[in-house]
Amino acid sequence: MSWIQILTYLCGAIFIVAFATKLLKYATMPMHVRWELYPIPHEGKHKSYGGSFYEEIDHWKNERHKDHLAQYMFMLPEILFIKALYEDNRSLWYWSFPFHMGLYLSIAGLAFLAIGAILQIMGLPSSTALGSLAQSLTILLGVVGYVLGTIGVVGLVIKRMSDPELSEFSAPIDYMNLIWLGAIFVTGFLVWLKDPGFGISRDYLVSIITFSPMKDQLTGMHYLNLLLFLSFFAYFPFTHMTHMVSKYFMWDKVKWDDNPNIGDPGVDAKIKTYLGYPVTWSAAHIGAQGGKKSWADVATENPWAKKE
């Protein structure tokens, strides 16, 4: 097994462990108090102006209906086209959109490269109809993705450097991240020029999937692109670029979490646990006594009540 194969497995393992750890960290945090923000798409089309169940008399007596389709219809243009940025920060969207679309298409291209590799293992190489389709889609999505991604990166770097409102809040690492991604897009494009059918790349993936030696020798450009990609892959979960995590949790679990507390046993159990947590806040009015008191204790005390 070559060093590049070992590195691939290593970077893949780091990505999986680090990303899963991050997801787990947020998923296992306590249920917070409600902090929703309207409009909430699952309230449905008839409340698309931002209305909620609070507009209904005796709302707790009504059966709650969440319009999940409306929520997906909201999420789709948001994920694909970054609709919120289009509406509220158009000048940044002009570059952010091609950048993100470039990423999506490149990842889709990589997925079809993997499908092509699996087909090849199954005895359906690119000379077959199915293998040829996977190859064509790999080339189309990958190359368009590289071009769009590169345009986006160049635009975002220039925008971030030239707009004082952005540059004041940007650090060298922000530029490094963008340039790193840009280098992956550019070298990916150059790989395509050297390897127009991505045949060498596919053989490399076959070797990774089957844990076997590579058939073809990778070119220098393949190595460069792989090194940039693999190192970024391992680095990515440690950065704020994983903002798809915040997008999921902050929207689905915070801004859209309007579930009222109606005595669900699971929710009740959680609240009882939290009320038992020790409090160590130091301000005198809290009266926490350095953790001797719990949330239930401090919340039910009234330090200013007249003593009977």
Partner 1 sequence: MKPEEISKSAEQLVDLNPAKFATLPPPYENYKESPLVQLSDDQKTRWEHSLDGVSALTLPKPQTPEEEEQLVASFLLGLEKLLTKENNWTFLQPLALSLEYCAKCQTCAEACPVFEASGRQDIYRPTFRADVLRKVAKKYLSPGGKFLAGFRGHDIELTWDLVARLAELAYRCTLCRRCASVCPVGVDNGLINHELRKLFSQELGIAATEIHEKGSVKHLKFGSSTGMTTAAIGDIIEYLEDDIEEKIGRRITIPLNKKGAEILLVHNAGEFMSWPENPMSFAILFDAAGIDYTISTELAGYDGVNYGLWYDDVQFARVAIKHLEIARELGVKKIVIGECGHAHKALSVIADRLLPGEQMIPRESSYTLLWDIVKSGKIKFDPSKNDFPVTLHDPCNIVRLMGIVKPQREILKAITPPGRFREMTPHGVANYCCGGGSGFAIMSSGNFTDWKIKLSGRKKLQQMLGAFQGEMDPEIKKMVCAPCSNCKGQIRDLMQNYEVFEKTGIWYTGLVEMMVNAMVDQDAPFVEWPSDEEDDDM
Which residues in 236-275 contact partner 1 (CB under 8 A)?
240, 242-243, 245-247, 249-251, 253-255, 258, 260-264, 267-268, 271-272, 274
**Which parts of 154-173 interact with partner 1 (CB under 8 A)?**
165-166, 168-173
Question: Cα separation of 93 and 156, whole Å?
Answer: 9
Q: Site mask, partner 1, residues 114-153, x = CB under 8 A? A: ----------------------------------------
Q: Considering the complex, what minimum distance in angstroms separates the CB of residue 284 from partner 1?
A: 6
Angle at 207 between CA 206 and CA 211, to 5 degrees: 120
Q: Which is nearer to partner 1, 58 or 129 (CB)?
A: 58
Burial 26-35 (b: 16+ CB within 10 A, else e): eeeeeeeeee
Q: Cβ distance 181 to 188 under 8 Å?
A: no
Under the binding rule (CB under 8 A), the answer on residue 26 touching partner 1 is yes
Question: Cα separation of 190 and 49, whole Å?
Answer: 49
Could you say which of 2, 62, 89, 289 contacts partner 1 (CB under 8 A)? Answer: 89
Q: Which is nearer to partner 1, 31 or 214 (CB)?
A: 31
Q: Considering the complex, what minimum distance in angstroms separates the CB of residue 53 from partner 1?
A: 8
Q: Considering the complex, what minimum distance in angstroms separates the CB of residue 54 from partner 1?
A: 5
Among 230, 184, 232, 237, CA closest to 5: 230
Q: How far is CA 107 from CA 57, 137, 194, in A?
A: 49, 12, 20
**Which parts of 186-245 interact with partner 1 (CB under 8 A)?**
240, 242-243, 245
